[in-house]
Amino acid sequence: MSQPDTRQRLLDAAERLFAAEGFHNTSVRAVTSEAQANLAAVKYHFGSKEALLEAVFERRLVPLNQLRRERLEAVRAAARQHGGRPVTTDVLRAFIEPTLAFRDHGPGAEAFVRLVGRAIAEPDDTIRKIFMQLVNPLFILLYDTLGEALPELSATERFWRLHFAIGSLSHAMCLAGHFQILPTGVTSLPDATALTAMMLNFLTAGMEAPCA
Amino acid sequence: MSQPDTRQRLLDAAERLFAAEGFHNTSVRAVTSEAQANLAAVKYHFGSKEALLEAVFERRLVPLNQLRRERLEAVRAAARQHGGRPVTTDVLRAFIEPTLAFRDHGPGAEAFVRLVGRAIAEPDDTIRKIFMQLVNPLFILLYDTLGEALPELSATERFWRLHFAIGSLSHAMCLAGHFQILPTGVTSLPDATALTAMMLNFLTAGMEAPCA
DNA sequence: TCATAAATCAAACGTTTGTTTTAATAGGAA
DNA sequence: TTCCTATTAAAACAAACGTTTGATTTATGA
């Protein structure tokens, strides 16, 4: 029997199922069945289905957020050191590169990326707040750092351009490995590095566009 | 009693609740209760809960799609008439302007915009296919028209840049009237016209960015 | 070895789910 | 009126839901 850590197996199964079927469309029984655990194990290890979702988010989002924060702070520090502004594309890269590269962080990570990509648009207030509580401080840091890179941009413009970028990113996260029919001419799917390069190229141009 | 059209009241209630709480988190009883109709009315008028969702999509998406298609075809025709390419920002505007302006199309339209913004990232295959079946032909037309505006762009680049744009748009649609805390300096929220202008400015720059 | 805690288990809790059935009510045409 | 169809209504369906209980097993440390 592979029963080393029931808690871990529950997190793995919940991560996969919540990403593939959605939170409300996934039953606790489906999770415990896939994890080869007893139905009551969710209550024992986490307390409730919602607390399980919170644990799924926290397990991967806490280290990912720390990495993204470090990269953003590094860009800020480097700019301050040579007395200039941070470069827009560096700021965006500090946030986006670790995010898209995360899908290669072992099995389940790809499902997690899809789960996170959807969480920001989650209708259920309780669920969205669980997620936002974890990522909002980072969004604020990104917003502030973009303000240092683009001081001529008004707060309103910067706010909405950041949301446009977040939309592009989260949509691309949802598409990870979840592919529809491709148009003729689009042969293969890009890896995380190539996708990051394309997205940075696109979003940097949008961020730096002169105001109309 | 306001009982002119039970079918219409069911669509209105379902539209609002599906957008606010999500499809799987909304019960048929909640819909019929808000519509002041009998529980069995959903089965009688639509057949099932899923068929009700499909009707919610179709009621507004069919005319909206027709408008977007006309606007896209008009841009194509105008370009062909004077023997040149369509302009990128005109192509994007033809699709985006009617989409964002739709939230002012009477009561319930704002909720519908949010519902559509989320539908593209819907985990449930059945639901996403109901939606995709309605919008995919338009996405293909948009993809082709962008190819006429930007013939130097590779199919892969164009494909992903379109997805980045769709991500920005759908995220902005989800945010409509559903606002979180605003950062200092961001005072008021833009109307559909102002938001369209900002988004077009952003996405046009991204679309026309030189390849790295 | 024994006691204590941690973990797992089967089973049932009461509710809620989407759906269905059957009867009652309305409204217009003959 | 009378008949027929369209619509509404109340009630129940079986199934699935998240949660909880209490007993049992497993592991740990004295």
pLDDT tens string B163-184? 999 999 999 999 976 766 788 8
How far, in Å, CA of A58 to CA of A71, rounded?
20
Contacts 24+ apart (CB under 8 A), A65-69: A65/A134, A65/A135, A65/A137, A65/A138, A67/A98, A68/A94, A68/A95, A68/A98, A68/A99, A68/A138, A69/A138, A69/A141
- Per-residue pLDDT at B3: 52
Q: Under a CB-based contact definition with an 8 Å cutoff, are residues A48 and A75 in contact?
A: no
Angle at CA B46, nearest 5°, toward B40 and B50? 100
Q: Which amino acid is at B122?
A: E
Q: Under a CB-based contact definition with an 8 Å cutoff, are residues A119 and A54 in contact?
A: no
Q: List pLDDT tens digits, range B31-45.
A: 999 999 999 999 999
Low-confidence residues in chain A, pLDDT < 70: 1-4, 177, 179-180
How much is the mean pLDDT over chain B? 94
- Is any atom of strand C within 7 angstroms of residue A62's beta carbon? no
Average pLDDT over residues B19-23: 96
- Per-residue pLDDT at B1: 33
Q: Under a CB-based contact definition with an 8 Å cutoff, are residues B147 and B75 in contact?
A: no
Longest dimension (CA), chain A: 64
- Is any atom of strand C within 7 angstroms of residue B30's beta carbon? yes
How far, in Å, CA of A122 to CA of A162, rounded?
19
Q: Which positions of chain C lie under 7 Å from any protein Cβ?
A: 7-12, 16-22
Counting one residue from A and one from B, how many pairs have CB atoms under 8 Å apart?
157
Q: Which residues of B touch A203 (CB under 8 A)?
A: 164, 206
Question: Does position B2 have pLDDT exceeding 60, yes or no?
Answer: no
- Per-residue pLDDT at B60: 97
Average pLDDT over residues B61-87: 97
Identify the CATH assignment for B49-207 out of 1.10.357.10, 1.20.1740.10, 3.90.1150.10, 1.10.1740.10. Answer: 1.10.357.10
Between the CA of A106 and the C1' of C4, what is the distance in angstroms? 39
Top-confidence residue, A178 or B121: B121
Average pLDDT over residues B194-202: 98
Sequence length of chain B is 212
Q: Which residues of B touch A170 (CB under 8 A)?
A: 121, 167, 171
- Per-residue pLDDT at A180: 67
Q: For chain A, which residues make up each domain, given as ranges?
A: 58-208
- Per-residue pLDDT at B104: 94
- Per-residue pLDDT at A146: 98
How many other C-beta atoms are found inside a 10 Å radius of the C-beta of residue B7?
16
How far, in Å, CA of A171 to CA of A87, rounded?
24
Q: Which amino acid is at A32?
A: T
How far, in Å, CA of B164 to CA of A172, rounded?
7
Question: Does position B190 have pLDDT exceeding 70, yes or no?
Answer: yes
Average pLDDT over residues B130-139: 96
Q: List pLDDT tens digits, range A143-192.
A: 999 999 999 999 999 999 999 999 999 999 999 767 667 888 887 789 99
How far, in Å, CA of B141 to CA of B162, rounded?
12
How far, in Å, CA of A89 to CA of A68, rounded?
15
The distance from CA B155 to its chain's CA centroid, rounded to whole angstroms, is 24
For B186-202, b/e burial (b = at least 16 CB within 10 A) is: beeebebeebbbbbbbb
How far, in Å, CA of B103 to CA of B98, rounded?
9
- Per-residue pLDDT at A184: 82
For the record, the structure tokens of B9 come out as 């009241």
Q: A138: Cβ–Cβ under 8 A, 6 or more apart, which residues?
A: A65, A68, A69, A72, A95
By Cβ distance, the residue of B122, B159, B202 closest to A206 is B202
Q: Which residues of B touch A183 (CB under 8 A)?
A: 140, 143, 155, 159
Average pLDDT over residues B55-64: 98
- Per-residue pLDDT at A46: 98
How far, in Å, CA of B55 to CA of B14, rounded?
10
Closest Cα in chain B to A210: B201
- DSSP secondary structure of B28-40: HHHHHHHTT--TT
CATH class of this structure's domain A58-208: mainly alpha
**pLDDT band of B188, cuts 50, 70, 90:** confident
CA distances from A18 to A3, A48, A82, B126, B165 (A): 22, 15, 46, 16, 26
Q: Under a CB-based contact definition with an 8 Å cutoff, are residues A131 and A58 in contact?
A: no
